[in-house]
Structure 1
Amino acid sequence: MKPKGKEVDPKDRAFGRHIQKLRQARKFTQTELAGRMQKTSSWMSQVERGVQKVERLDVLQDLADALGVSVQQLKPGAPGPAEPPPVQPPVYKSNDLDEARQLISGHPAVGTILGALRPAPRRTLEELSSDVDEMWELTHAGEFADVSARLTELLPDLEQTVRVVTPEERETAYLLLARTYQALAAAFVRQDAADAAWVAADRAIWAAELSGNPLHVCAGVFRMVHAFVRLRMLGQAEHAATTAIEALKILDERGELAVEGMSVLGSLHLALALVHARGGHDRAGARTEIEAARQVARRIGEDRNDFNLEFGVTNVEIQAVSTAVELGDAGEALDIGLSIDAERLSPERQGRLLMDLGRAHAQRRHTGEALACLLRAEALDPETIRTHVASRKAIRELVLVEGPGAPPELMQLAARAEALE
């Protein structure tokens, strides 16, 4: 109760008015909001009048959860729940990689292989290399419609080029082909088209071997492991990752593994951590692999993008967040994730971190924080939200938890991500 004769602090009054506006925007009565917090309507009335201070973090979190907002939005002047996110929600496209899937269903150079066609290369290797670099940029940005459109010309050109160039140029041409199939495998995985990703990764490994670049072979194995994980073929995923790791560790022990190879080794440790987390929730195995990746990243000492793996200290911690969420350790995920600065990484990596933080908040039923993270992830990388099974599951669970009082922004996100279908 307010002590007799004592004026209400203007800050408390402003806080109370802000809470009242948030409540009214949700169309809750004081009694309904108080009931969601297991408080009395009298207590809620005092909060809105500024008489009752709300300073304890756990009470602030309960209030935010009851209103379906983040704790930050409880501050007067913060954006209200009815306001749209700062970035216009994307218009999702369906089946962005259909053309690419159809392309690899046959063989892009069957006429050349049979000898029916023997065209001269239409573009130089330098031009093709520039196109491959640009396709990787589009892949990291999640621009899969553009990836698919460019592949319809680029992939047949490369498949023909490797068969008609001079012997001196052949290895370079095969390396470009391997990188192209790696990008395609990465794109297919992100669109949850794991069967097509498997095909693309297998061709990437074949082309990398013909290029004479064994590290690119291992990079292709990394892409295949992620295809296996999406297909729930965890035994195959573990075997593929372990075999490559053991071979790279032998080279490392001999002092023959370059820094680029360390990036591949660390990335495979991260992939194996995911396998352990998905397969029977093997906490010990997952954490062992995360720690192994951390040690490799510390040796490298910087964030790199060898083989478009974006491996480094930052990416290891992003994967540590993802692994903790997979294991149901939301507190650990939030402790790690909230200290990560991922701004230098691609939109895909930033979006993945935000998606996993949203999942962690959802596990704790912090609807406001979860929604804020998921909306930011969607703005950065829509495909992470639309195509990732875990993100759609988190959105669906938030809707079920909130019931009829679910925030409209959450329902709109669920509709865009098709999470309730």
Structure 2
Amino acid sequence: MKPTGRDVDPADRAFGQRVQKFRKERGRTQTELAAALGKTSSWMSQVERGVQPVQRVDLLQQLADELAVSVQQLRPSAPADLGGQSSAPAPLSLSNDLDETRRLISGHPALRTLLSGAGEESDRPLDALRGDVDDLWELTHAGQLAQVSTLAADLLPELERVARTAQEQHRTELHLLLSRAYQALSAAFVRQDEADAAWVAADRAVFAAERSGDPLHVCASVFRMVQAFVRLRSLGQAEHAARTAINALEDQAVDTPPALSVLGSLHLALALVHARAGARAEAKEEIARARDIAARLGENRNDFNLEFGPVNVEIQAVSTAVDLGDAGEALDIGLGINADDLSPERQGRLLMDLGRAHAQRRHGGEALDCLLRAEAVAPETIQTHHASRATIRELVLIAGPNAPRELLALAERADALD
């Protein structure tokens, strides 16, 4: 139960006054600041009045970042290593399994081929290239990002080269394979919080899909771009990209299962955008639209590696509820989901979000159990995802000197305390 006006903790009241002071100095309204944090204006009002304590380390850091101050300026008692003066999130100290692939896509992928003008076929048949792209997606869904990088380092240059130099009758399929490969990389980069690289990969996927003549793959690539924009906190761009693709699909009234999978996935992406902006009603409306589309499909599918269907919609509903701070709703939905038929990544994401929901409710034991189960299913996702790392830090902070050994070991594996 939140404190009344008479029993507000003086420290929380002083904290709220500092938040209000910095907010006004920067000319921001409560509504604007709340939206940037993915909260409601009423929540922000309660914070400034001292009624709503801000105890989560990640939320405290995010609030400081939005106000362009250090954590210590907001809360002088906070340890000096919790915050910085920068308005951008501190880089992860964790080594990135995708560094090699990031370097690969940082330049033009086929300059030597373009400059030489030489045409040559691939040394391998199309079936082998198809198999490699399928393997790339399988590794991405499994969260095995180091293997993704190893495979992509050889596969991408080959696809870029032969898509430009192969005989004309093969180029359509080669461009489609190239788009699928870049979509997989974009998804992998998002999961390792490399949003700028995810944007580059998604943009190249869009271009290759257009050259293949497959508009649904263009829309699927836009979905990957929306995910990158969300991670970049460019919510306006994310909303525009998702809405444009949704409108185009709805204008064509295409109702094949693959088209419905793409459309439903874009509605889920738009729900995520609204949730991050704190637009509760709009987020729930998009989840409802995705549910309707999933009901029309009547099955869980994996068109365009989107894993869209009734179960994935509910997994996204859990994630949306957690982002909105509705931990009880997230648990009510999530505990009734059976995700055994979905990929390890989707199973791990559900367990991670259930762990986040339990953490919001201060259910430390249940939160740790969910995170450990998620790690068992998709270890690289749990050990690198920013949300899981933030939750682990929060659990360690709450537990203090009584933190269980299993939690401290998990924090060490995820490098979550640096």
- Which bin holds the TM-score, normalised by the shorter protein? 0.7 to 0.9
Amino acid at match of 2:406: E
TM-aligned CA deviation for residue 122 of structure 1 = 1.5
Amino acid at match of 2:361: R
TM-aligned CA deviation for residue 170 of structure 1 = 1.2
1:98 corresponds to which residue? Answer: 99
1:372 corresponds to which residue? Answer: 369
1:387 corresponds to which residue? Answer: 384
Amino acid at match of 2:403: A
1:32-181 → structure 2 map (5 Å cutoff)? 94-115=95-116, 117-181=118-182
Higher relative contact order (CA 8 A, sep 6+): 1
Q: What SS does structure 1 have at the residue aligned with 2:299? A: coil
Q: Distance in 2 between matches of 1:170 and 1:221?
A: 22
1:257 to 247, 255, 258: 255
Amino acid at match of 1:273: A
TM-aligned CA deviation for residue 341 of structure 1 = 0.2
1:317-356 → structure 2 map (5 Å cutoff)? 317-356=314-353
Task: Report % sequence identity.
Answer: 68
* Unmatched 5+ stretches in structure 2: 1-92
Q: Distance in 2 between matches of 1:107 and 1:248?
A: 31
1:397 corresponds to which residue? Answer: 394
TM-aligned CA deviation for residue 167 of structure 1 = 1.6
2:52 corresponds to which residue? Answer: none
Q: What SS does structure 2 have at the residue aligned with 1:325? A: helix
TM-aligned CA deviation for residue 348 of structure 1 = 0.2
1:333-365, Cα deviation, whole Å (9 max, x unpaired): 000000000000000000000000000000010
Q: What SS does structure 2 have at the residue aligned with 1:311? A: coil
1:46-84, Cα deviation, whole Å (9 max, x unpaired): xxxxxxxxxxxxxxxxxxxxxxxxxxxxxxxxxxxxxxx
1:246-285 → structure 2 map (5 Å cutoff)? 246-252=247-253, 256-279=254-277, 281-285=278-282
1:1-41, Cα deviation, whole Å (9 max, x unpaired): xxxxxxxxxxxxxxxxxxxxxxxxxxxxxxxxxxxxxxxxx
Q: Distance in 2 between matches of 1:399 and 1:143?
A: 27
> Could you tell me whether the CA contact under 8 Å between 1:190 and 1:383 is conserved in 2?
no
Q: Distance in 2 between matches of 1:160 and 1:216?
A: 21
Q: Distance in 2 between matches of 1:126 and 1:107?
A: 26
TM-aligned CA deviation for residue 119 of structure 1 = 3.2
1:151-176, Cα deviation, whole Å (9 max, x unpaired): 12111111111112222211111000
Q: Distance in 1 between matches of 2:272 and 2:109?
A: 33
Q: What SS does structure 1 have at the residue aligned with 2:199? A: helix
Q: Distance in 1 between matches of 2:279 and 2:184?
A: 30
Q: Distance in 1 between matches of 2:416 and 2:111?
A: 40
TM-aligned CA deviation for residue 120 of structure 1 = 2.8
TM-aligned CA deviation for residue 94 of structure 1 = 2.8
Q: Distance in 2 between matches of 1:105 and 1:119?
A: 24
1:39 corresponds to which residue? Answer: none
1:226-278, Cα deviation, whole Å (9 max, x unpaired): 000111111100100010011111122xxx33110100000000011010010
1:245 paired with 2:251, answer: no
Amino acid at match of 1:258: T
> Could you tell me whether the CA contact under 8 Å between 1:355 and 1:384 is conserved in 2?
no
1:418 paired with 2:415, answer: yes
2:7 corresponds to which residue? Answer: none
Q: What SS does structure 1 have at the residue aligned with 2:185? A: helix
Q: Distance in 2 between matches of 1:165 and 1:118?
A: 7
Q: Which runs of 4+ in 1 moved over 4 A?
A: none
Q: Distance in 1 between matches of 2:187 and 2:270?
A: 17
- What TM-score do you get using the length of structure 2 for normalisation? 0.76
Q: What SS does structure 1 have at the residue aligned with 2:108? A: coil
Q: Distance in 1 between matches of 2:396 and 2:156?
A: 42
1:361 corresponds to which residue? Answer: 358
Q: Distance in 2 between matches of 1:390 and 1:169?
A: 42
1:183-207, Cα deviation, whole Å (9 max, x unpaired): 0101111111111000000000000
Q: Distance in 1 between matches of 2:112 and 2:120?
A: 10
1:30 corresponds to which residue? Answer: none
Note the aligned Cα RMSD (angstroms).
Answer: 1.3
* Unmatched 5+ stretches in structure 1: 1-91
> Could you tell me whether the CA contact under 8 Å between 1:111 and 1:117 is conserved in 2?
no
1:3 corresponds to which residue? Answer: none
